[in-house]
């Protein structure tokens, strides 16, 4: 959520930002909010004036009663009583206007960075850098589900019986490999100075609407029937929600945390659920990182965070690239975002394995995350980034370490987490 001062003082900037995000249907909201805000402030001004006048008259009543001027005192009391009715009406009006304004403000997208490429969808995202040589071996690499099944590591048929499409069983060395990658990612981030956390896997609606737009919520989140609880789609939501309505000690900034969680997603949309493989599924595991920092530090943290993901994937012998998200591909709360994509030697193209975002103070305003300074309280900046998402990272690892004999070479950094095993071979 943006600061309403932007609409009061620079409506054109807000409208231009909406146009950059190709959300022209939201343009009328800016003028609506502006008019409502004028009405709100007018009601607040009248109420403040009435309260001041009421206090002045109340003092007079006391003086008149002491002087035995009962009739005059009663006349003023009647006037004060009328003022109380007006104040009550104005208070109701102020509360109603405040709610309407907030609801409309929640739909206005965050102001994006000046250097974000302008484009309507992800086809306009821009490659910035590559890390590692994207190689294609001289032997065929099968589809990842076929590789995993050949190694007795994947059973989609059984998960179809128990849970339906979009779920899976990982087994044996493949299941162990998936866990090894997550544990390695955890230790990798701890070594970077991040505090490890296992957060709640369900959050209330007040947290959900604080960390994402309503449109995203409907497309992603599973609601628990009969409860004000949602299954998390990513642990950053639970992690940022930890600081809801808190005034954080400046001496404790920046807050840097890394979290493990399962993730649950509807995956509603044109892309659909992958029937055979594990690229797009309803359930996976993830190691995440979040940062809460001073506003002037968020740009530098953004650069550090996506580079950590690149470093981790390169240590797994996986070539990656950084892809800057264009304006139309940014979620409403994002100021700037980039994807880290891994090389697929089978498809001979890159695919997304992580996403890093700077949300400036958009989430903090919704959730009330602030710090205190000599000039008063102010909103902090929040950032999040994928360290490693289990299923997509597993696909990238097995494709880039697939051997001609059908075995999977285990990168050296993972071997201690696999009991010293160097390869996964067909039984």
Q: Is the pLDDT of residue 236 over 80?
A: yes
Per-residue pLDDT, 70: 72
pLDDT in tens, 138-180: 999 999 999 999 999 999 999 999 999 999 999 999 999 999 9
pLDDT in tens, 282-313: 999 999 999 999 999 999 999 999 999 999 99
Q: Is the pLDDT of residue 77 over 60?
A: yes
Name the residue ranges covered by the structural domains of the chain. 4-105, 122-424
**Tokens of residue 155, six digits:** 């059973």
Q: Is the pLDDT of residue 217 over 90?
A: no
Quote the CATH superfamily of domain 122-424. Answer: Bira Bifunctional Protein; Domain 2 (3.30.930.10)
pTM: predicted TM-score of the whole model, two decimal places: 0.89
Provide the percentage of residues in the chain whose pLDDT is more than 70. Answer: 97
Dihedral (Cα; 348, 329, 321, 198), 10-degree rounding: -110
Question: Span 398-422, mean pLDDT?
Answer: 97
Q: What dotted CATH number matches 4-105?
A: 1.10.287.40
């Amino acid at each position: 959520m943006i600061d309403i001062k932007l609409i009061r003082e620079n409506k054109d900037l807000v409208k231009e930002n909406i146009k950059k995000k190709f959300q022209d249907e939201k343009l009328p909201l800016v003028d609506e909010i502006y008019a409502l805000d004028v009405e709100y402030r007018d009601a607040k001004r009248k109420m403040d004036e009435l309260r001041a006048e009421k206090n002045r008259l109340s003092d007079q009543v006391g003086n008149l009663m002491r002087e035995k001027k009962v009739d005059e005192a009663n006349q003023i009391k009647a006037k004060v009583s009328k003022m109380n009715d007006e104040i009550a009406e104005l208070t109701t009006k102020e509360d109603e206007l405040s709610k309407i304004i907030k609801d409309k403000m929640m739909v206005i997208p965050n102001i994006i960075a000046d250097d974000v490429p302008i484009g309507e969808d992800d086809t306009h995202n821009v490659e910035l850098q590559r890390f590692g040589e994207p190689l294609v071996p001289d032997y065929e690499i099968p589809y990842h589900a076929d590789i995993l099944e050949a190694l007795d590591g994947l059973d989609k048929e059984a998960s179809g019986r128990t849970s339906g499409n979009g779920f899976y069983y990982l087994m044996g060395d493949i299941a162990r490999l998936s866990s090894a990658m997550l544990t390695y990612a955890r230790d990798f981030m701890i070594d970077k100075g991040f505090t490890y956390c296992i957060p709640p896997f369900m959050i209330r609606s007040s947290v959900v609407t604080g960390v994402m737009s309503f449109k995203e919520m409907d497309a992603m989140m599973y609601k628990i029937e009969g409860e004000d609880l949602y299954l998390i789609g990513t642990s950053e939501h639970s992690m940022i929600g930890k600081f809801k309505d808190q005034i954080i000690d400046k001496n404790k900034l920046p807050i840097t945390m890394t979290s493990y969680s399962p993730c649950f997603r509807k995956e509603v949309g044109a892309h659909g659920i992958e029937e055979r493989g594990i690229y797009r599924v309803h359930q996976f595991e993830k190691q995440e990182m979040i940062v809460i920092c001073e506003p002037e530090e968020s740009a530098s943290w953004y650069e550090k965070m996506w580079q950590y993901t690149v470093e981790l994937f390169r240590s797994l012998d996986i070539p990656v690239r950084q892809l800057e998200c264009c304006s139309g591909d940014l979620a409403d709360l994002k100021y700037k975002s980039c994807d880290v994509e891994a090389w697929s030697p089978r498809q001979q193209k890159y695919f997304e394995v992580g996403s890093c975002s700077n949300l400036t103070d958009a989430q903090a305003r919704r959730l009330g995350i602030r710090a205190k300074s000599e000039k008063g309280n102010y909103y902090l900046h929040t950032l999040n980034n994928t360290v490693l998402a289990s299923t997509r990272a597993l696909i990238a690892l097995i494709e880039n370490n697939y051997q001609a004999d059908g075995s999977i070479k285990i990168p050296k950094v993972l071997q201690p987490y696999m009991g010293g095993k160097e390869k996964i071979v067909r039984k």
